[in-house]
Structure formats: structure tokens, C-alpha cells
Amino acid sequence: MNPDFKSLTIKTGFNIRIFNDFKEINARHKKCLNLNNLSLINTSSPTPQSKRNE
Amino acid sequence: MNSLKTTLFFGLLFSIFSCKTADGIATRTERPKNVILLISDGTGLSQISSAFYFQDKTSNYTRFENIGLINTSSSQEDITDSAAGATAFASGIKTYNGSIGLSDDYKDAKTIVEIASENNVKTGLITTSSLTHATPASFFAHVKNRGMENEIAAYLPKSGVDFFAGGGLRFFSGRNDNLDLIAALRAEKFTIDTTSLGNYNSIKSDEKLGFILADNALPKMQEGRGNFLAKAIEAGTDFLSKNRSPFFMMAEGSQIDWGGHNNDAPYLIAELIDFDEAIGKALDFAEKDGNTLVIVTSDHETGGFTLAAKKNKRDDGSEYSDYREIGPTFSTGGHSATLIPVFAFGPGSENFKGIYQNNEIFHKIINLTNWKIKQK
């Protein structure tokens, strides 16, 4: 059985806040919304990064 | 303050999700002439992330602009194995774990190698495991179980593959059934080299080329495999693009998965960095060529690999997570169900964005290239 993406629950408080904001945007700009753009970010702070490069 | 936050949030969101992007990209029909599919077996986002923390060079993953995610579940299991995972890429179907190129009801599922070959497109397969191992096998064989490696090897001579490089010599030569598959390959116009990735320039374009360089898998990076994968990609692109032929090539970094199964982070990371180097070779070719689509993905994640903080001890002996240093950990000796990243570059690469099923990769390639699927 494959998971249904629509049934995925968003658990953390942070994500719930984003999700609510997002619903609002979705309602206001429905035609403009595109969930197909993904980006990745590196979240290291500068200190450990520079330590690694020593 | 709250309204400022809201404005910033909306602004950021709209800079990412613009109308132009939403409407424009989906309808683009730029067609690639060549397709290179790079599969890093057992590689989730944490494995990929190690390319950003455990080498001095900038990772070649940064060269991709189009990124997607795939669900890799097989037809009957939430967590796939490499056979079902590769069959999804190779034939566009979800099937049961263990299947090599067969559907749930044991019917042959035509592979992209067979389809390309019927469309006069040259084809190549490269692996750091045995050529008969689940991932490469799913691109040219049709057997009920991945363990049937003698049967899998017998498919290769007439498979439509024009170039291959990998291990698994014992399945082609010196077999218990006395079947000489090296002779069978030579009868199909293959030049076979079992010693090294040697000179291939003198080989004519209507001939084929195969390198079988180990009895089983090729050695680990830690045991001196060297730059086989990058060199094989270079050799494959050179050979297959002779006379400006279109080509499809699949290259697999097999042993990232094995590092995951062994819960051996140094093994896994060395293999991942080797795969990163191989990505660079494929992208170099694609950038120069301009008509090549490069897709980089994985069949599944292995090991539940995590780039957690290293555990250190205080003077009183109590343990703490030291955020200054990474201490990789594992949560399983098997595979996991995490969504897997897809990176794409070149003509049509924007079609690989979004979240979709693993077998869609096959259909996206077929739709983009317009290779015709002939009925049997």
C-alpha cells in the first residue's frame, strides 16, 4: 500500500503555523500557487563550518 | 512587527512560487537527445548532505537547479528493495520486491534500454557492483528473483546494450553450466576487456564495448577502486556519442547502499564522494553537449543515516551532543521509506521538479525523448 500524500500529517508547531499561512495564501492566490519548486539549504552556522575547514 | 513578518513571509513565498514559473514550465517541450541516469543506490538526503561536510571541494549536487522528490514504495511493500526500485526506473512500473524487469503478474516489462535500442538510440550501463546485481540487471533482464544472477547474465549479449562497465566476471566465464557468455558477447560484436578501462578509440561505431573488471563487485573506494566510476562515465559518453548518435546511459554508484547496510559511515561517505565526482563528469559532458538530460536519483535510502551531532563527554563523564562536529549515526541495517531527492539538468529537466512516484521517472524520460514503445 502506497502512502497518500494528502494524508500526511504536519506535526510540529512551526509547520502548523506555516501551513496556516499557506492556506491563507492559497485561498487568495489560488491560480498562482505552485508547489513544484523545491530548494535545499545548508543550515550550518559559520563557526562549525570554519572549524571543519581548519 | 507582526505585519512586517507577514509581509516578509508572503514576499519570500511569492518570490519562490511565482505565477510565471507555475504556468510557464509545465508546458515547455524542450527535448533532450541524450539521457544520462545516475543512480546512487541507498542514498537519501543525509547521504547526499555528507558531500557538503566531508570533502573540501564544492559538491557537484550544487550544479542542479531542478530538484524533486520521489516516493519509492514498491507495489506490495512500503519499503522497496533495489530490484523493484530499479524496475520502476527502467520499465515505469511498480512491482514486487525482488523482481527484475517483471510485473506483479510475472510478465516481462519492457526496459528503457530495449525501447531506446528499438529507436536506434545507443545504450550503456555502468555499475560499481556486479553487472548482474539488482540495479543494472533491471535495465536488461527479466527474472522472477534478483538472486538468479546466472540467468540475468545470459540476457546481456542480446539485450540491446552497446556499452557496459562493472564487475561480475564469474557470472560470464567459468560457470558451472559451462556457458561461455564472454564468447556469446563477442559473437554479438562486443569487444570485451577484463583487465582495465583501456583504449576504446579504435572500436568502430557499429561495434559494442564491455568492461568486466572484477569477479564479483569492484573494490570499495577505501580499498583502492580509484576513479573507475568517473572514468567509466567518460568512456561511456565518448563511446556512445560517436558519430553523434543519441544515447541512454545508466550509471550506478552501488556501494553507498552497502555502507548503509553495514552501518559503516566512512565506507558510505567515501562511496558518496566518489559518486559526487561521477556526477561532475556527467554534467561536464552535458554542459558541453547542450542536448543531454542528466537525472540523478536513488532507488531508496539505506541505514536510516543521520548527520547527528557527535556525542562527547563532559569532565564529569556525562554525555552531550557537540554541535561543533558531526557524528553520523544509523537507525537500521536495512532500507527506509524516506522520500528520495531527484536532481535534473539539461533540456526538459524542469519536468523532474515536484513530488511524484519513482516509476514516473521512466515516463518523464519517454515523454521527453519521444522514444516509441513498440508492442511485442
Q: How far apart are CA B365 and CA B35, in angstroms?
A: 8
A:B CB pairs within 8 Å: 65
pLDDT, one tens digit per residue, over B78-103 is: 999 999 999 999 999 999 999 999 99
A36 interface with B at CB cutoff 8 Å: yes
Binding site of B, by residue number, is: 41, 133, 135, 252, 257, 261, 299-300
Element (DSSP H or E) covering residue B69:
strand B66-71
Calculate mean pLDDT across residues B206-233: 97
Which among B265, B271, B266, B236 has a CA at the least distance from the CA of B251? B236
Calculate mean pLDDT across residues B235-239: 95
- Report the catalytic residues of B: 82
Q: How confident is the model at residue A29 (pLDDT cuts 50, 70, 90)?
A: very low
Closest residue in A to B21 (Cα) is A34
A39 interface with B at CB cutoff 8 Å: yes
Model pLDDT, residue B29: 53
pLDDT, one tens digit per residue, over B293-323 is: 999 999 999 999 999 999 999 999 999 999 9
Distances (CA, A) of B359 to B58, B89, B93, B192, B299: 31, 5, 6, 32, 10
Q: How far apart are CA B356 and CA B363, in angstroms?
A: 11
pLDDT, one tens digit per residue, over B313-352 is: 999 999 999 999 999 999 999 999 999 999 999 999 999 9
Question: Could you tell me which residues are beta bridge partners of residue B329?
Answer: B306
For the cut 50, the answer to whether the pLDDT of residue B253 exceeds it is yes
Model pLDDT, residue A35: 55
DSSP class of residue B284?
Answer: H
pLDDT, one tens digit per residue, over B153-171 is: 999 999 999 999 999 999 9
For B30-369, CATH number out of 3.20.20.70, 2.10.10.90, 2.30.40.10, 3.40.720.10 equals: 3.40.720.10
Q: How far is A24 from chain B (nearest CA, A)?
A: 10
Is A36 close to B354, i.e. CB distance below 8 A?
yes
Is A34 close to B325, i.e. CB distance below 8 A?
no
Domain ranges of chain B: 30-369
For the cut 50, the answer to whether the pLDDT of residue B181 exceeds it is yes
Rounded to a whole number of angstroms, the distance between the first and last alpha carbons of chain A is 48
Model pLDDT, residue B24: 37
